[in-house]
Amino acid sequence: MTTKTIAVARDLLATNKQAAAAIRAELRARGILGVNLLSSPGSGKTALLEALADRFRGRLRLAVIEGDIETERDAERIRAKGVPAWQITTGGACHLEAKMIGEVLGRVPAAVDLLFIENVGNLVCPASYDLGEDLRLVLLSSPEGDDKPAKYPQAFLSADALVLTKSDLLPYLPFDPQRAAAEARRIKPGLRVFNVSALCGEGLEELAAYLVEALERVRSGRA
């Protein structure tokens, strides 16, 4: 990168950090847990949100901000679950920025417990952008391979927990969940890891309990 591009990148990240801090303060004041979901395209972010919508129905109120380069499809899938969803289409940009979340935040109803932000499918760029969330989940699906944490370290380093998805495909794949977890913990020691199948329901109870604990931390001012 040239000196000029480095300076522009630094300005962008500093501006983003300010906007993210304001969002975090607002979400905490409203007692909402913000959760940012990062992964490659097709790792199952939307499927996980659909499964969580089913699991939390009648217990917690969810809302979802969807980030995609094009199409409203993911927001439509979430709305079909009875959960309010707003689609941000970035029109080519490879990640969401805090400013984009700030523009939607006013439309999120007061009576929401968990606000999920599904980032653009990209295991690289979104890792550098704080969206004001209090919890960041990185997803890695079994077909992607257990060697990915070392190759895309920033996403795993910046995450609070790793969700290994599509565990129902494990019988057909060389993927080793323990190796994936160990690789991720080499980058971020102590990282929480969940083995989940949105299709079969495996691991959803543990993940849901983890989200509820995080919500309680926000509400008790311990986030």
Q: Where do contacts with a second copy occur on this chain (CB under 8 A)?
A: 1, 4-5, 8, 12, 40-42, 68-71, 73, 92-94, 120-125, 141, 143-145, 147-148, 150-154, 166, 169, 172-173
Q: Which residue has the tokens 């979340």?
A: 101
Which of 22/125 has CB closer to a second copy? 125
Which of 121/203 has CB closer to a second copy? 121
Shortest Å distance, C-beta 13 to a second copy: 12
What residues does 66 pair with on adjacent strands?
A: 87, 118
**Where does residue 61 rank: exposed (0-12), middle (13-18), buried (19+ CB within 10 A)?**
middle
* 70 three-class SS: coil
What are the backbone dihedrals phi and psi of residue 97, each rounded to the nearest 5 degrees, phi first? -120, 155
Q: Write the DSSP string, 14-58.
A: HHHHHHHHHHHHHHHHTT-EEEEEE-STTSSHHHHHHHHHHHHTT
Which of 57/151 has CB closer to a second copy? 151
Q: Please list, in sequence order, all residues whose beta carbon lies within 8 angstroms of the beta carbon of residue 161, skipping any fewer than 6 positions away.
A: 135, 136, 137, 138, 191, 192, 193, 194, 210
Shortest Å distance, C-beta 217 to a second copy: 31
Shortest Å distance, C-beta 168 to a second copy: 8
Shortest Å distance, C-beta 58 to a second copy: 28
Which of 20/208 has CB closer to a second copy? 20
Which of 94/209 has CB closer to a second copy? 94
- Identity of residue 214: A
Shortest Å distance, C-beta 110 to a second copy: 31
